[in-house]
Every structure is written in C-alpha cells, then in structure tokens.
Amino acid sequence: MNKYVVNSEKRKKLGEYIKKIREQKKLGMNQLSIKISVTNSLISKLENGLTQKISPFLLKEIAKGLRVDYKELYKIVGYLEEDDCLPEGNLDLECNFKKIPLYDSISAGVGLEDLENEDIDFITVPDIKQFSGDVVAIKVSGDSMEYTIENRSIVFIRKDVEVPNKKVGAFIHNNKALLKRYICLDEHCFLRSDNRDYPDIEIKKNDEFVVVGRFIGQLNEEE
C-alpha cells in the first residue's frame, strides 16, 4: 500500500523545513511534542527524513505546533500543487475540508448495523484527491490485517468501487463485515488476512458476497 508514501527527496526537504522553523522559534523537540501530542521519536524521524508514510493529519498537527501554514507542508510532500488553496489578496483562505462519517466498527461502516438511533461521529479530512468520492472512516478492532493495517487505527474506505485482485477492501460475506485482502487464484477467490495466523475465507458460489469498497489509507494512533 503506497498511500501517503513520500519519496526520500521530499522527506529530506520536509525534515529540513520542520527543523529550521522549530529552531527559529526556539522550540525543543520535547516542547513541540507536548504542544501537539506527537512523540519525540516521530518528530525526530520526520526531521531526519526517516518516516516514509506521512499523513495529511500529521502534517497539520506539526504545522499547528510550529504556527505555520500547513499548506506549505502539503506542498513540500506533494499533497497540494503550488497554485492550490493559495491566499487571494490579503485573505488567508483555508483549503477546503470535508466531513466524512466515522464508524466504530466495520459492521457499522458497511451498513450491517442499525444506526437509525445512533449518533454518528464525523472526522474532518482535506478535500483533496486522496479522499474523493464516497469515503467513510472506520475504527479497526483486531490484528487480522497487521502489519498492513494496525489494530486501533482508522481506515478509509472508498465505497462502491471495485477491489482489484490482491488489494484490500471492505466486504460483506455471509452477513459478516470484513476488512481483508481480495485474492483470486484460477477460479477460486478468497478473503485473506495479512496476519497469517488467520485462515483464508473461501468465497463459494452460493455465498452472500458484496464488495463494499476499497481501502485507500489509514490513520495510525501515533499520527
């Protein structure tokens, strides 16, 4: 999964920028860490260009702690083009954001739970191409997809799109909601856990099987 993977050149440029601003503002790593609840080790990895996957949410937190425009960080890593969301005149216009539903379980996220009387939470995400379409966020509980998808992370699913062979998606199989890797070999298809302690689930001809959507990214606890 290459979502939010940043190449080494951009990581180096981002790290140098973060370190320069932090030092200009006379902030130690520990001070910045306390301000934004991001660990010292993660800040150090960012400054040294060692963090390969960098989410937009993490960048916004870093920008908040440094009191700089998060759009500058987005541009460095390529999440925004140079002319996207720029201020017009003397107005500091924000980039567009949108709210998407945040569900407590995969069953709720794919529609298997009755949510009519439940309060649905929402999470705010940048309105950029990574989150285009009908996207929902789901809290993960369990280790069946580790280490691709961490337990207690939040995953993003783009609904009503096909899941290609060997890619991860959300599925309904015999009235169970599952987050798995879709595998087809010859005429046999399976739902596979990346944690190989879990057995494959074969999709049989008479099974109820619905492709809900494709996994497009995740937000880990440390992010």
State the pLDDT at residue 92: 37
State the pLDDT at residue 93: 38
Question: What confidence tens digit (pLDDT) does each residue in 102-129 have?
Answer: 888 887 666 666 544 455 788 888 887 7
Low-confidence ranges of the chain (pLDDT < 70): 1-3, 81-95, 108-119, 221-223
C-alpha 177: how far from chain center: 20
| DSSP classification of residue 146 | T
The arrangement of strands across the sheet holding 168-173 comes to: 121-126, 97-103, 135-139, 154-159, 209-219, 168-173, 176-185, 188-192, 201-203
State the pLDDT at residue 114: 53
pTM of the model: 0.58
State the pLDDT at residue 118: 52
Q: Where do the domains of the chain lie, and which CATH numbers do they carry?
A: 8-77 (1.10.260.40), 97-219 (2.10.109.10)
